[in-house]
């Protein structure tokens, strides 16, 4: 897959899935706008992009704030002059049962996961129109397709991402912009490891036991890797996926078979 001469804007690029996506896209030749709130780790991502002999810039961004989103996309255009790919990987995932869920936890999930995706998609489409093409990949979750204890607000926010993806795919089609979502399952990231601790506290289990139980729940009996998600993103960002739009692809080792 050749992404040379392409410019990709990746949110949540400081760590985890977002960082790996940025590096995978760079490895296929794309220049990267790496966006996140975590400044120091974001600079490490940009250094890693440079080590791949690609151009990268760091943009500090709270995706739930429209003014910051617009400023970030303006910086991307000022630096590279074009935008070809958007990956919405910024996200939060507190694990709280509905009966114990504070209102601000619900709001945080919706603000970052759903509203942040909407704001970045809107900013990207308005700039991709001039290209006559573009690729948008929204990182959703298997929790958007199947109920999970403790993931109510998170799952609802990601279900919103899936429907937004379908609607935007239809609305952006006249501009030859493809819009798809990826729904990862259990991917071995720091966020997931933090969830092992949260779930352990909730259920009275050691985090190692939580991990083992979750691995055993996956038909392939392992966690996924961030690079496996990154490679799928690269495919959807390439010209090999030009006739694919409006779908939500699950990558979860068989946990959710649709």
Q: What angle do CA 49, 112, 50 make, to 5 degrees?
A: 5
- Rounded Cα distance, 178 and 180, in Å: 7
**Neighbour tally for 211: CB within 10 Å:** 20
Least confident of 5-9, 88-92, 95-99, 109-113: 95-99
Residues annotated as catalytic are: 154
- Residue 258 pLDDT exceeds 60: no
- Residue 163 pLDDT exceeds 70: yes
Per-residue confidence (pLDDT) for residue 235, from 0 to 100: 98
CA 45 to chain centre: 15
Q: Mean per-residue pLDDT for 209-232?
A: 91
**Neighbour tally for 242: CB within 10 Å:** 11
Per-residue confidence (pLDDT) for residue 102, from 0 to 100: 84
Domain ranges of the chain: 7-187+224-251
Q: Which two tokens stand for residue 167?
A: 């609607």
Least confident of 32-41, 47-56, 197-206: 197-206
CB 125 within 8 A of CB 168: yes
The SS3 assignment for 139 reads strand
| pLDDT band per the 50, 70, 90 thresholds, residue 99 | confident
Whole-number average pLDDT of the chain:
92
Q: Which two tokens stand for residue 213?
A: 């139980």
Q: What is the dihedral of CA 73, 23, 81, 57, to 10 degrees?
A: 60
| pLDDT band per the 50, 70, 90 thresholds, residue 104 | confident
CATH number attached to the domain at 7-187+224-251:
3.40.50.720
Question: What is the reported pTM?
Answer: 0.92
Q: Which two tokens stand for residue 190?
A: 């720091």
pLDDT digits 0-9 by tens, 37-48: 999 999 999 999
In which residue are the tokens 């399952």 written?
A: 185
- Rounded Cα distance, 233 and 220, in Å: 21
pLDDT digits 0-9 by tens, 45-64: 999 999 999 999 999 999 99
């Amino acid at each position: 897959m050749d992404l040379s001469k392409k410019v990709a804007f990746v949110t949540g690029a400081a760590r985890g899935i977002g960082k790996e996506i940025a590096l995978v896209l760079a490895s296929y030749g794309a220049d990267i706008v790496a966006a996140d709130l975590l400044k120091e780790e974001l600079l490490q991502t940009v250094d890693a992009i440079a080590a791949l002999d690609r151009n990268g810039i760091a943009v500090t961004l709270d995706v739930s704030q429209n003014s910051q989103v617009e400023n970030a996309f303006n910086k991307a255009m000022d630096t590279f002059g074009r935008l070809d790919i958007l990956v919405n990987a910024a996200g939060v995932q507190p694990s709280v049962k509905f009966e114990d869920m504070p209102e601000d936890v619900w709001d945080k999930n919706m603000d970052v996961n759903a509203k942040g995706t909407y704001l970045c998609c809107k900013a990207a489409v308005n700039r991709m129109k001039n290209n006559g093409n573009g690729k948008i990949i929204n990182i959703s979750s298997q929790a958007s397709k199947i109920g999970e204890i403790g993931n109510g607000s998170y799952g609802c926010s990601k279900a919103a991402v899936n429907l937004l993806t379908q609607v935007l795919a239809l609305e952006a089609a006249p501009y030859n912009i493809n819009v798809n979502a990826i729904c990862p399952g259990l991917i071995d990231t720091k966020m997931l490891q933090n969830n092992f601790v949260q779930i352990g506290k909730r259920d009275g289990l050691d985090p190692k036991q939580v991990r083992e139980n979750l691995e055993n729940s996956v038909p392939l009996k392992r966690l996924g890797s961030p690079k496996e998600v990154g490679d799928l993103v690269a495919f959807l960002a390439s010209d090999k996926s030009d006739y694919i739009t409006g779908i939500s692809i699950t990558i979860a080792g068989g946990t959710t078979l649709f």
